Amino acid sequence: MQIIKPSSFDEFEQYYRLRYEMLRKPWHQPVGSERAEDDDQAVHLMAVNDDSGEIMGGCRVHLETDTVAQLRFLAVGPKYQNKQVGRQLLQRVEEEARQLGAKELIVQAREYARNFYKRNGFIEEHPTHLLFGEVQHYQMRKPL
């Protein structure tokens, strides 16, 4: 596995397709809802299978303030879950955030992802928003 920054049209297509399939389609959201207005200001990362070239997972990170970076849209494809792909993406996000000057990393974690983030050093702060009327999110923070 290697973690790259998508740069070609095809890489970005795979990246956004995974984001849609994992984070929007299960809640019957339209294609295009996986994109964010500030995507052009974020660092995008994708884990790629060395053998097949298939995307395994992806995410993005951007600065919220001069010292706080935010991780968003972390998703791992079904056949690559529980194989340390998310953890390796998270480690790379932390490196990228430090390079941007961040001292802390925050995430709005979905209910089912809270334990993943806790296992990786995040502290839960408080519930935030309810996405699509049913997916509770929690703000979590990690010092870098």
Work out the pLDDT band at 129, boundaries 50, 70, 90. Answer: confident
The pLDDT of residue 88 is: 96
List the one residue out of 144, 113, 109, 104 whose CA is nearest residue 126: 109
Measured between alpha carbons, how far is 77 from 69 in angstroms, rounded to an integer?
A: 24
The pLDDT of residue 69 is: 98
State mean pLDDT over 17-45: 95
Pick the CATH number of 2-143 from 3.90.1580.10, 3.40.50.720, 3.40.50.2300, 3.40.630.30: 3.40.630.30
Q: Give yes or no for residue 36 having a pLDDT over 90.
A: yes
**Is 90 within 8 Å of 51 (Cβ atoms)?**
no
CB atoms within 10 A of CB 144: 16
Out of 9-18, 42-51, 120-129, 130-139, pick the least confident.
130-139
User: Residue with structure tokens 């000057």?
Assistant: 101
State mean pLDDT over 105-123: 95
User: Does this model's pTM top 0.75?
Assistant: yes
Measured between alpha carbons, how far is 46 from 57 in angstroms, rounded to an integer?
A: 6
